[in-house]
Amino acid sequence: MATLPQIAVLGAGIFVKTQYIPRLAEISHLFCLKYIWSRSEESSRRAVEIAKQHFPGVECKWGDQGLNDIMQDSSLIGTAVVLAGQVQVDISLKLLKAGKHVIQEKPAATSIPEIETALASYKSVSTNPGQPIWAVAENYRFEPAFVESKKLVAGVGDMMNVQVIIEGSMNSSNPYFSSSWRRNFEGGFILDMGVHFIAGLRMIVGCEVTSVSAITSHIDRTLPPPDIISSNFKLENGCSGVFVMVVSSSSPKIIWRVVGSKGTVQVKRGKVDGKHGYLVSLYSADGQCKSTFHPFCGVHEELKIFIHDIVKANLKQGNGYEAEPRSSFVEGARDVAVLEAMLESGSKGGTLVNVKKF
């Protein structure tokens, strides 16, 4: 029987304890979770206590020495970096330079300059055989709802207009409301939440956003500015659209809608039979509507594919193995670039801004 690949999780916050550990437990037959690292011993031990229910052998690591131990452990081939947005890229690059494969939580980075520096650093790492994989955990690209809707959009004729409407629920009852890192840089909640919705947009339309013109505002003073963004955008296929995001509203709603010359495709987040997911609807030219509900499963899928990729990459030993493109750091960077352009336009009163290409 083949030895299972060993991985480490770096981070011990809410998302690790409530999402990563349960989702990793669902695929525990594919790998061995060896370590959970945090900056402090206390937070690492709390996360390990939860993880031990599924991974009895998992160990605590913390601080600089713990990070160094992980980088030097030759038995460890993969890592999941689930940390504050401001430090993720730096930690990921250290692990990559140590030869570890990395799946890093979104956002890919917190600014365009950070993306450019990161890509240059990664390029220097990846010149040697056996280049490590750098994936970004953007689960929307792995949700079956978006995979299906992309196929449906191809059948509704010429694309006429695209609408993305986000009315979020980031209030004091949300576990991430008090998150300090999301409050410590401009557009923190817009960027952290918004990359999901931009990823969904790019997935559905199958092409890139080239330019934007946005107005931003700040209404909810319990949130950092801006908390509202309204943007026109243009796609590379010439189609125009609107992206509206309210970080916290009293009536949460999330919708993507593509209007074509022969029909319309809509993806709406919702709940059916107690399960959260997406309702994908196809409105045809004859007035008929066909809908399919897809429960959430993107986090499960992206983690399973990452494990598959790192095993295959190790077997290939650098001989041309290409990881799942939907997970690539560049894809995550492109999501950030669209939002960065919108935030820049908003800060300049709606000036047209071209989206940085990666």
Residue in this structure with the two tokens 């525990």, named with its chain if needed: 28
- Rounded alpha-carbon distances, angstroms, from residue 277 to 19, 210, 226, 315: 15, 29, 28, 36
Domain coordinates of the chain in residue numbers?
6-138+299-326, 140-296+336-354
Structural contact between residues 146 and 292, judged by C-beta atoms closer than 8 angstroms: no
- Residue 204 clears pLDDT 90, i.e. is over it: yes
Q: What is the reported pLDDT for 269?
A: 95
Q: Identify the band that residue 315 occupies on the pLDDT scale cut at 50, 70 and 90.
A: confident
Q: What is the reported pLDDT for 187?
A: 76
Q: What is the reported pLDDT for 1?
A: 42
Structural contact between residues 188 and 100, judged by C-beta atoms closer than 8 angstroms: no
**Proportion of the chain above pLDDT 70, given as a percent:** 96
Q: What is the reported pLDDT for 205?
A: 98
- Residue 290 clears pLDDT 50, i.e. is over it: yes
Q: What does pLDDT average to over the chain?
A: 93
The correct answer on CATH 3.20.20.20 for the domain covering 140-296+336-354 is: no
Both ends of the chain: CA-CA distance in Å? 42
- Residue 183 clears pLDDT 90, i.e. is over it: no
Q: CA-CA distance, 97 to 77, in Å (whole number)?
A: 12
Tokens of 270: 């919702």
pLDDT digits (tens, 9 = 90+) for 216-275: 999 999 998 999 999 999 999 999 999 999 999 989 999 999 999 999 999 999 999 999
- Residue 72 clears pLDDT 60, i.e. is over it: yes
Return the HEC string of 96-156: HHCCCEEEEECCCCCCHHHHHHHHHHHHHHCCCCCCCCEEEECHHHHCHHHHHHHHHHCCC
Residue 92 CB burial class (10 angstroms; 0-12, 13-18, ≥19): buried
> HSE-up of 322 (CA within 13 Å, CB side)?
2
Q: Which of 51, 90, 97 is nearest to 72 (CA)?
A: 97
- Rounded alpha-carbon distances, angstroms, from residue 89 to 39, 92, 95, 109, 353: 16, 5, 10, 7, 25
Tokens of 218: 């700040």
Q: What is the reported pLDDT for 321?
A: 67
Residue in this structure with the two tokens 């499963």, named with its chain if needed: 297
Mean pLDDT of the region 189-208 = 95
Residue in this structure with the two tokens 């300049």, named with its chain if needed: 348
- Residue 295 clears pLDDT 90, i.e. is over it: yes
- Residue 178 clears pLDDT 90, i.e. is over it: no
Q: What is the DSSP string of 185-233?
A: STTHHHHHHHHHHHHHHHHHH-S-EEEEEEEEE---TTSPSP-EEEEEE
For Cα atoms 347, 352, 353, give the angle at the middle one, nearest 5 degrees: 75
pLDDT digits (tens, 9 = 90+) for 17-53: 998 999 999 999 999 999 999 999 999 999 999 999 9
Tokens of 171: 């209030």
- Rounded alpha-carbon distances, angstroms, from residue 193 to 7, 245, 342: 27, 10, 14
Residue in this structure with the two tokens 């890192």, named with its chain if needed: 181
Q: Identify the band that residue 6 occupies on the pLDDT scale cut at 50, 70 and 90.
A: very high
- Number of residues assigned to the chain: 358
Q: How far is CA 135 from the centre of its chain?
A: 10
Mean pLDDT of the region 305-328 = 81
Q: What is the reported pLDDT for 143?
A: 95
Tokens of 282: 């196809």
- Residue 318 clears pLDDT 60, i.e. is over it: no
**Proportion of the chain above pLDDT 90, given as a percent:** 82
Structural contact between residues 325 and 138, judged by C-beta atoms closer than 8 angstroms: no
Q: Identify the band that residue 317 occupies on the pLDDT scale cut at 50, 70 and 90.
A: low
6-138+299-326 and 140-296+336-354 have identical folds: no
Strands 248-260 and 263-272: antiparallel
- Residue 141 clears pLDDT 50, i.e. is over it: yes
pLDDT digits (tens, 9 = 90+) for 331-353: 999 999 999 999 999 999 999 99
Mean pLDDT of the region 78-101 = 95
pLDDT digits (tens, 9 = 90+) for 95-130: 999 999 999 999 999 999 999 999 999 988 865 556
Mean pLDDT of the region 143-153 = 97
Question: Which secondary structure element, helix H or strand E, spans residue 301, and what is its range?
Answer: helix 298-316
Report the amino acid identity of residue 245: M
Residue 349 CB burial class (10 angstroms; 0-12, 13-18, ≥19): exposed
Q: What is the reported pLDDT for 320?
A: 57
**What sign for the dihedral angle of Cα 301, 140, 115, 209?**
positive
CATH number among 3.40.50.10860, 1.10.10.10, 3.40.50.300, 3.40.50.720, domain 6-138+299-326: 3.40.50.720
